[in-house]
């Protein structure tokens, strides 16, 4: 009996000790945050929970910031790198939600003819709001044209030295172009119809290469040979094949091609450029031109399949049998902010050659005598 009573007393003492603590224990968690955000669940401050309770925690970053991780007493946090996570209450804790300025990637590349020297080429990571210097350097014989891509935050897209403000992931490209300084350079475009080119000065009768390439006596009396090749069915002249269209970009920078002579009455697709595919012609003037062709004849372009011609103009005379225009003989692309003050002779699609529907021209087979000056 004595042993039994001793056992009962011992059990009672243990039970009494547990009862004095009110059952399961309670623990406190103190929550704070760094600048750039806050803890919205359960909030910030000190909170008390039962032992073993699973507590949800949610951290929210302010605009321009990002959540990094939870720091402090983090052993019982489910995922310290997740802004929405849980903590299991097995002790007293002090934890902090850490935030930092949001970071973005800037990817930089360049076309043929130069490179980006500052900050370089590749992918770079910056804090949001950082102003990054951009410096593009052309190779010899090339000029910087412009920055393209994600350029909305670029200070000046036409400046080789500029800045970009990082407020998102950006991908930009430095574009370079071959310099056109004389008629020989202009003539060389035909060797790379998809290239990018910039006129660096006016071209006229005093510029190197004129007598050989663009004068009345050039090319056996035919004058300038149009850049590109257009094939037209001799009977159904609405059947057109741009064999080798110009598909690159040609920037005039406000300069002019002057005193151009083309005397090719039996040829189709006649102008400074014979035909355009996709591409860009901008800020270019063709002045005092004398252009003679058969069909699809224009001062600047004979036939435009889909390029954009902008801020350009022409004057002089353009003569042909059909699809004749002062600026563009026939246009299926875009012509905007451009004008022509050109005397035209022939069945014109419109004054500037901006017609949109091909039609069979009333032509006779081309002969040397059919089109006059």
Secondary structure letter of residue 219 according to DSSP: H
Same-domain pairing of 107 and 97: no
Please say if the pLDDT value at position 270 is more than 90: yes
Same-domain pairing of 149 and 198: no
In whole angstroms, what is the distance from residue 126 CA to residue 106 CA?
8
Same-domain pairing of 263 and 288: yes
**Rounded percentage of the chain residues whose pLDDT exceeds 70:** 84
Of 162 and 8, the one with more pLDDT: 162
Identify whether 8 is part of a domain: no
Same-domain pairing of 154 and 73: no
Same-domain pairing of 232 and 316: yes
Same-domain pairing of 190 and 144: no
What average pLDDT does the chain have?
87
Q: Taking residues 128-143, report their average pLDDT.
A: 97
Identify whether 9 is part of a domain: no
In whole angstroms, what is the distance from residue 55 CA to residue 49 CA?
8
pLDDT at res. 344: 79
DSSP 242-277: EEE-B-SEEE-TT-EEES-EEE-TT-SSBSSEEEE-
In whole angstroms, what is the distance from residue 280 CA to residue 335 CA?
10
Same-domain pairing of 191 and 334: yes
Tokens linked to 270? 């006649």
* Contact call for residues 259 and 286 (beta carbons, < 8 A): no
What are the phi and psi torsion angles at 56 (to 5°)? -80, 145
Same-domain pairing of 143 and 188: no
3-state secondary structure of 220: helix
Same-domain pairing of 338 and 218: yes
Domain count, the chain: 3
In whole angstroms, what is the distance from residue 276 CA to residue 306 CA?
7
Residue 141 to residues 109, 185, 198, 276, Cα–Cα distance (Å): 20, 10, 11, 24
- Residue range of the domain that includes 33: 25-101
Identify whether 20 is part of a domain: no
Same-domain pairing of 131 and 193: no
pLDDT at res. 1: 41
Closest CA to 329 of 286, 351, 371, 298: 298
Identify whether 264 is part of a domain: yes
Domain boundary residue, one of 57, 72, 101: 101
CA end-to-end distance (rounded Å), the chain: 139
Tokens linked to 55? 């507590």
What are the phi and psi torsion angles at 248 (to 5°)? -95, -145
Identify whether 149 is part of a domain: yes
Identify whether 315 is part of a domain: yes
Identify whether 314 is part of a domain: yes
> Could you read off the pLDDT of 143-184 as tens digits, one per residue?
999 999 999 999 999 999 999 999 999 999 999 999 999 999
Please say if the pLDDT value at position 365 is more than 50: no
* Contact call for residues 52 and 90 (beta carbons, < 8 A): yes
In whole angstroms, what is the distance from residue 73 CA to residue 54 CA?
15
Same-domain pairing of 76 and 190: no
* Contact call for residues 174 and 111 (beta carbons, < 8 A): yes
Please say if the pLDDT value at position 351 is more than 50: no
> Could you read off the pLDDT of 62-105 as tens digits, one per residue?
999 999 999 999 999 999 999 999 999 999 999 999 999 999 99
Give the CATH number for residue 68.
3.10.20
In whole angstroms, what is the distance from residue 57 CA to residue 258 CA?
74
pTM score over 0.85: no
Out of 1-10, 122-131, 147-156, 264-273, pick the least confident.
1-10
Same-domain pairing of 109 and 97: no
What are the phi and psi torsion angles at 358 (to 5°)? -70, 145
∠368-371-372 over CA atoms, to 5°?
105
Tokens linked to 52? 């073993």
């Amino acid at each position: 009996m004595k042993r039994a009573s001793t056992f009962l007393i011992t059990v009672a003492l243990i039970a009494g000790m547990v009862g004095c603590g009110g059952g399961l224990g309670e623990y406190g968690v103190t929550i704070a945050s760094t600048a750039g955000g806050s803890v919205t669940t359960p909030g910030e401050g000190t909170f008390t929970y039962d032992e073993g309770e699973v507590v949800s925690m949610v951290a929210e970053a302010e605009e321009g910031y990002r959540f990094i991780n939870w720091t402090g007493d983090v052993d019982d946090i489910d995922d310290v790198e997740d802004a929405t996570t849980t903590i299991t209450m097995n002790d007293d804790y002090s934890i902090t939600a850490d935030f930092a300025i949001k970071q973005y990637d800037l990817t930089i590349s360049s076309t043929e003819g130069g490179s980006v020297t500052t900050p370089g080429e590749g992918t770079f990571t910056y804090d949001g709001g950082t102003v990054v210097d951009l410096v593009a350097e052309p190779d010899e014989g090339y000029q910087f044209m412009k920055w393209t891509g994600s350029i909305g935050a670029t200070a000046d897209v036409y400046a080789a030295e500029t800045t970009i403000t990082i407020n998102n992931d950006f991908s930009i490209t430095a574009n370079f172009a071959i310099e056109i300084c004389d008629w020989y350079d202009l003539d060389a475009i035909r060797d790379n119809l998809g290239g990018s080119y910039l006129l660096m000065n006016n071209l006229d009768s005093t510029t190197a290469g004129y007598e050989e390439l663009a004068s009345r006596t050039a090319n056996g009396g035919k004058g300038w040979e149009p850049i590109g090749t257009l094939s037209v069915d001799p009977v159904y002249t609405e059947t057109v094949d741009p064999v080798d269209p110009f598909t690159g970009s040609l920037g005039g920078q406000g300069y002019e091609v002057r005193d151009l002579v083309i005397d090719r009455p039996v040829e189709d697709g006649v102008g400074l450029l014979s035909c355009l595919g996709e591409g860009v012609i901008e800020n270019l003037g063709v002045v005092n031109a004398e252009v003679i062709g058969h069909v699809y004849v224009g001062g600047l372009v004979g036939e435009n399949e889909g390029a954009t011609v902008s801020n350009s103009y022409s004057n002089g005379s353009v003569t042909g049998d059909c699809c004749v225009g002062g600026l563009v003989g026939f246009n299926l692309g875009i012509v905007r902010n451009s004008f022509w003050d050109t005397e035209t002779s022939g069945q014109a699609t419109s004054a500037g050659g901006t017609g949109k529907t091909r039609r069979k021209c009333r032509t006779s087979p081309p002969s040397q005598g059919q089109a006059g000056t």
